[in-house]
Chain A
Amino acid sequence: MIERVVENWLISAGERSYQIPFCQALLSRGQKVLHSTRHCAMEMGKDIIAQDSDGHIHVYQLKSLKGGRLTQSAYRSDIAPQLHPLVLGKPVHPSIPEGAKVKAAYIVMSGDINEEAAREIDDLNKTLAENNIQTSIKTITFGELLQLFIQNLHRFAPAEPRQAKMFLELFLADGTGAFPKEKLWRLLESVFHFEKKPSETELREALSSSALISTLALSNFQQNENWFAEFEGWTVYLVALLRFAEAWSLSDEEISVELDIALAAMFGALEGLAKELCSRETLFEGHALADSVLLNFKRPIMLGMASLYLIWAERLNVLPKDHTEKLFKFIREQYGKISFWGESAGPYILANLLFMRRAGYDNMVGKFLCEVMDQVLTRNGRHSQFPMPSPYYGFEECLLSLAGAPDQAIEDDFTHSSFLLEPILHLMVENGMRDELTARWAQITHFSLRSFLPASSYDFLSFRAKQGNNMTRIPKMTESWTALMEATSKLGGGRKIDFFNKHPYALAALLVAMPQRLNSDVGVYLFRSFEPPPKEGSAS
């Protein structure tokens, strides 16, 4: 079954779709991926650059043929101008080590090559050999590509009926709605499940299979340029990778390429969404009339994703001039129009706070924190008819319940209870907002401040942690500002996952996919990781 699924997918896959599993396939063949393009303006003619165990460079140019044939004219116009300089001259690319030689340049195609194009490549290779040039041009066609993808998959393919059903549901989803992230999580959990520490071969096979399974699960979402779904899917993949590494004490270096691939895919999806936000005349999607009712609830998501893109791009130093200003304008336009569907909106709020902090919008940080706290105090207060459900309930569950959909009622009682209140409280303390907290303290003391404290990093990285404490904190009626400051100062150091120290934006992304992981410690950690820029005139 899995071969047919991969074959069907590959026939319709674009270059972007099969780039990630192709990288994984190269890794499982012992090549080290030095560069994998994001398909942006900096492609420089090479989609993937890899190095074999002898130190030789292999350059791959991906071509989507949708099951068709590469013609001579397409070869001449699309591929030859990019490949020829690589084989004829000294390769220039930041990721190619000094002195390394290109052994082969590959045209990787999701189709076949016609006779004329094949002969042209043969002729070129003969000329290269006659001139003692060691580099050659090779082709990887549909059949080889298919074989490459499925050879490692057999062992880890979803075979058990329930998993196979889940996999097919993901693969056959129309790709226009929310991504069923829990299903992908369960599939990856089974791929990454080992009774004892996996061997190097098992490790590579599992990693390769997980990338392909994720790609297939996301294929229709990717085809629809459903950026948000794609982002959530690759974030789930990243978290599953980190959890696997945590389980078997693998260092980030051991899975560095996989982590890079996941981060690139996540960032690519964010970038796609950011560009679309800049180019859209309206924000409606799908059924515009129905979507108009949902729009204000969707705004925090778009606001949060745009914010996350900006803080991430800033860290990578790739803020594009053409749409950064447009995104700033988009973000400013959303304020005052947003509605929160539930406490799973928390990570989007946090992402926006981090953006405002980095952008130096100090006043807006305070204003937004107050606005969010007031929303929680009001919406989950005694007289509220529509309290915000806990972060365990997603966008659709909350709104289906709110809309009174049959059998979709959320039966929990959220009155005077909140997961979001305590992190917001500590961020206000961190931001020195004593007066604002004094004005709200009486209301705060009526609330139970809830949080989930995972027992370990492994539990933190689990979609549903087996071990951990469901904590309820009742605030003191009379509290001292000094004590609050002291409590806040102790926060922010509890999460000892080194990867997030290097990539704090990835932690903000994890929260989007797993909002239940937002607690005071994580919130304060991220807040401190995105310090405001130094004020003009201040000492640097």
Chain B
Amino acid sequence: MLPNFSKIQNLLSDRIYRTIKEKIRQKSGAFDAPTVSLFEGDSLSVLREDGTYDESKLSKMEATSIIQKEQLANPNVAIGETIEALSEQLANQQVKVIIGELEKTPNQVDSGGKFTIETVFEALEKIRIDFIDGQASMPQLVVSPQLFASARDIFIASENDPEIKKRFDELMERKRREWLDRESSRKLVD
């Protein structure tokens, strides 16, 4: 065999896979959700504060990308392409799961395939916003590639629209009051 140095190879491959994993997490739409490892069991459940309970079996999410030997002449490009391919596949799967879960809740906004500022307001009305250290903890917005350009244009246009800004400020003020009410309800009673 040709000279081989497996110790450093193992270290490098471990680092490469860690980098790929982290980049995919950032790009694939894992959003701001915290990462939690599961070490055992076959199901997940949540008992919410309102008493609702959901249980689901664990399911596998997987993606495939093959790096051809010829591509290794330029490993950085090969790794970049792999990250793109895997994150797209995983993002699609994750969005499907999220949409599936959302369909079970009343938190849906149907904008008829168009993205408008009304869609944004309607969505914000439906969700809970917390204020951490005085700042609103705003949700992450994920749009499909098809709607990305129009969504970006709408946000740029809205920034200079005093009417929309006023509506937004009023909404946030209401959300702040709701948050204060929520915070003051955190107590142990008889």
Contact = CB atoms under 8 A, between A and B. Distances in A.
In this complex, the member of B11, B55, B182, B187 whose beta carbon has the largest number of chain A beta carbons within 10 angstroms is B187
A411 B35 contact: yes
A328 interface: no
A466 interface: yes
Interface string B139-153: 000000000000000
Nearest to B39: A392
B41 A478 contact: no
B107 to A, nearest CB: 17
A486 to B, nearest CB: 13
Interface string B43-59: 11111110000010000
A437 B190 CA distance: 12
A465 B188 CA distance: 35
B62 interface: no
Contact of A481 (B38, B45, B190): B190
Contacts of B178: none
B186 A478 contact: yes
A129 interface: no
Contacts of A126: none
A481 B188 contact: yes
Contact of A478 (B40, B42, B189): B189
Interface in B131-190: 132, 182-183, 185-190
Nearest to B44: A470
B49 A442 contact: no
A445 B130 CA distance: 14
B40 A477 contact: no
Interface string B18-47: 100000000000000011111111111111
Contacts of B36: 412-413, 417
B12 to A, nearest CB: 11
A211 B37 CA distance: 33
B47 A473 contact: yes
A95 interface: no
Contacts of A442: 183, 186-187
Contacts of B42: 455, 466-468
B39 A516 contact: yes
A469 B44 contact: yes
A473 B45 CA distance: 8
Contacts of A472: 44-47
Contacts of B182: 477
A438 B187 contact: yes
A237 B169 CA distance: 64
Contacts of A445: 49, 186
B140 to A, nearest CB: 15
Nearest to B18: A407
A516 B38 CA distance: 11
A477 B41 contact: no
Given A412-B36, A413-B35, A477 B190 contact: no
A415 B35 CA distance: 10
Interface residues of A, number: 41
B126 interface: no
A411 B15 CA distance: 14
A474 interface: yes
Interface residues of B, number: 30
A317 interface: no
A76 interface: no
Contacts of B49: 445, 474-477
Contact of B186 (A469, A477, A481, A516): A477
A484 B14 CA distance: 47
B15 A467 contact: no
Interface string A383-420: 00000001010000000000000010001110101000
Contacts of B55: 469
A390 B47 CA distance: 19
Given A392-B39, A465-B41, A468-B41, A413 B47 contact: no
Nearest to A482: B190
B188 A479 contact: yes
A9 interface: no
Contacts of A474: 46-49
A315 interface: no
A44 interface: no
A479 B189 contact: yes
A434 interface: yes
A407 B46 CA distance: 32
Contacts of B15: 407
Given A382-B132, A412-B35, A477-B182, A470 B43 contact: yes
Contacts of A482: 190
A441 interface: yes
A329 interface: no
Contact of B47 (A407, A454, A466, A471): A471
B43 A407 contact: no
A412 B34 CA distance: 7
B17 to A, nearest CB: 11
Contacts of A462: 40
Contacts of A465: 40-41
A480 interface: yes
A434 B188 contact: yes
Interface in A426-455: 434, 437-438, 441-442, 445-446, 452, 454-455
A466 B40 contact: yes
A464 interface: yes
Contacts of A481: 188-190
Contact of A407 (B14, B186, B189): B14
A452 B41 contact: yes
Contacts of B35: 411-413
Most buried by A among B41, B47, B182, B188: B188
Contacts of B44: 469-470, 472
B37 A392 contact: yes
Given A470-B45, A478-B185, A478-B186, 5 more contacts: A466-B40, A468-B40, A469-B43, A472-B47, A477-B182
8 contacts: A407-B11, A465-B40, A468-B42, A469-B44, A470-B43, A472-B44, A474-B46, A477-B187
- Which 4 A-B pairs give the minimum distances between C-beta atoms? A413-B34, A468-B41, A442-B186, A441-B188
Interface of A: 382, 390, 392, 407, 411-413, 415, 417, 434, 437-438, 441-442, 445-446, 452, 454-455, 462, 464-482, 484, 516
